[in-house]
A and B are shown apart, each in its own frame.
Chain A
Amino acid sequence: MFGRETLKKIREEKSKWEKGPLKLVLDKWGERDDMFKTLSGKDVNRLYTPLDIADKDYLTDINFPGGYPYTRGVVPTGYRGKLWTRRQVAGFATPEETNRRLKYLQNEGQTGINIVFDLPTHNQLDSDNPLCEGAVGKDGVPVDTLRDMEVIFEDIDIATISTSLITAGAPIFAMFLALAEKRNIPLNSLQGTLQNDIVSLFYTVHLTRFKLPEMFRISVDVIEFCIKHIPRWNPVSFVGYQIREKGSTAAQEIAFTFGSAIEYIQALQKRGFSVDDFAPRFSFFFNAHNDFFEEVCKYRAARRLWARLMRERFKAENPLSWLLRYHVQTAGSSLTAQQPVNNVIRTTIQALAAILGGAHSLHTNSMDEAYALPSETAVRTALRTQQIIAYESGVTATVDPLGGSFFVEKLTDELEDEAMTILKEVERQGGMIQAVTTGWVQKQIQDAAYIYKREIEGKKRFVVGVNCFEVEEDELPIEILKIDPSLEELQKKNLQAVRKRRDTKLVEETLKKLKAAAESDINIMPSFIEAASAYATIEEMMNMSTCVRCE
């Protein structure tokens, strides 16, 4: 990027600076530490200069926003055109409570919906299954049948707002589609995202009630169905977030997320689709952790690596297939139980990194989440954090304002290289599914998590309020959301009422059809939707759709 003469001169001057003023200061005062590292353990130099990015070519490696390889963003106007979608996760207690929270967030200026389900629902269990005792509605909304989906979206127009469903469950998606059909909304007008990345969720949050190959095939069926019938829907969102929460490094987060995406690409290609049929609708979900520059560079590196993979390796021709579009959530694992108000500051820095890295939509965590699901006050502050960045900070006025920083460009390069190296290792292990099955991936992440924890405990890393600047706190300075335990009983009663009310014969018929679809090679989604429309429960549907295939 710089002429040979210029570089030579800079090199000479740098050497003079090192021997002159730098040496003087180092000799007299030294530095705070021998080594400076990013949160993921990458060495950080004292200073970055044009020499660090001398081998880069602006047009091929960085380029303009909206131009390959999209280092500076996929939209030419950045946030000058459209701000990111402010999409707070919501879902707790009951469908009724969740509906109320969604309306509250809409009134407060949220621009997208993001539903999180409780653990029974994630595990495809009915609320009255004994395994679910104490867990119903505790960390998400319980959904047993279409009835619950109807309640969640009461008076909310799913035809105009985009909805994200944080689940790998085809039955939940089927209930959402059944709701749309009931409201006479054409499927091809629906907008939103289904998480659906079972490969990542299998080992990060242990959605392991069914075998991975069974779940993987259903998940590919969902994508196929969306390609054909719901073209504006993102049928999968590859989950880097949970990988990072489990303790991975930034580069591992990129690599393992892409590793999962590659499994889906290959599976869809095997079904006869070309990469341009589906890649434009792939979306991603990344974490925003504490190390500001590492996070900014992670998004820039991921964007470039994805573009290069899609264009060069998978030969995608449609430029939309090259674009990395992603949602970001600030790091839940970075929140501290100690001095919880400090979490607002952490979340702000993380959110700013997400925005300066070019996120397309964002969830900011609430200060109280090291204790419970957020209270209304806490979730409003979290949303306000985004609004202050959007409307007050000025960072949205120009595209990729950190681009061109010697450090940012260098760290972007390093993260891309490291992610690529890990991705190659994944392939050597036989691909992501194989590497997860053998536990190789989990081991890599656990090791990274352990190193991080050791560094904090050895005070090589500082967490304010945890291993430095601690205070004695007798009473929590914030309110904590309490979920009334009687709501679990209410949810069970509502489910049992649906079981009584519904047309049992129709349910049985649709479940039989679902089983037949499961045993054959035809796409399972239409049968899921039929069963959902008949008010079959999530557990009934899931039990019927697995266990036979892929043995």
Chain B
Amino acid sequence: MKIRKDNVRVLLAKPGLDGHDRGIYLVAQAMRDAGIEVVFLGLRVTANQVVMAAMQEDVDLIGLSIFSGGHTAIISRIIEELRRAGLDDLPVIVGGIIPPDDARELKRNGVGEVFPPGCSTADIIACVRSLISVTRDASPVLKNHLRQHQENSSVNEPSPKSGNASDDTTNE
């Protein structure tokens, strides 16, 4: 089933306790200028709030900004809750003060891309578009919804995942 959406919708949120919001505001503004619809969830949001908003707002991608140093635990929890909600396909990108080793670990755990300080908003937007184009037929949220409805009437056919087992979470 193909259901096309005309506009790209991104959920931006800032989990964790830190208040460094300069980056996420700049990204939000640049995305809007590029014609992307931004749902800005605000600061200090919990994993659950991110997942709920992603579903309710039917977004194509989640962007998280975090400068607290607590990224490993916080981002892993969000990824985990997204999986639990059946949103495995929903791409997640992360920006902030994140050392390369941690960035690699986040990507192994399912984060689409990690952006360090100083990266360009053009690069972020290009990344958003490329990550979304993979699942562009319908938003992951909608696809999940449709899949669940189909599952009710047909044999369950799990969709192939991109290499990472769901128990491959952090060692924190």
Contact = CB atoms under 8 A, between A and B. Distances in A.
Interface of A: 119-120, 122-123, 125, 131-135, 138-139, 204-208, 245-247, 333, 335-338, 369-373, 446, 449-450, 453, 456-457, 463, 466-467, 476, 480, 482-483, 485
Contacts of A245: 20, 22
B44 to A, nearest CB: 8
Interface in B9-39: 16-22, 25-26, 29-30
Given A134-B16, A245-B22, A206 B69 contact: no
7 contacts: A139-B18, A338-B118, A371-B99, A456-B120, A457-B121, A480-B100, A482-B99
Contact of A371 (B68, B74, B97, B121): B97
B118 A370 contact: yes
Contact of A449 (B26, B71, B98, B117): B26
Contacts of A483: 69
Given A134-B73, A453-B121, A205 B99 contact: no
Given A134-B71, A139-B67, A205-B19, 15 more contacts: A123-B17, A133-B73, A134-B73, A135-B18, A135-B69, A138-B69, A205-B18, A247-B22, A333-B117, A336-B117, A336-B118, A446-B25, A449-B26, A450-B26, A483-B69
Contacts of A467: 120
Contact of A372 (B19, B21, B22, B69): B69
B74 A337 contact: no
B26 A476 contact: no
Nearest to A203: B19
Interface residues of B, dominant DSSP: loop
Contacts of A247: 22, 26
Contacts of A333: 22, 117
Q: Which 4 A-B pairs have the closest CB atoms?
A: A134-B73, A138-B69, A206-B19, A134-B70
Contacts of A338: 116, 118
Contacts, number: 104
Nearest to B71: A134
A393 to B, nearest CB: 29
A476 B22 CA distance: 25
Size category of the binding interface on chain B: 35 or more
Interface of B: 16-22, 25-26, 29-30, 43-44, 67-74, 77, 97-101, 116-122, 172
Given A370-B116, A370-B118, A476 B100 contact: yes
Contacts of A132: 17
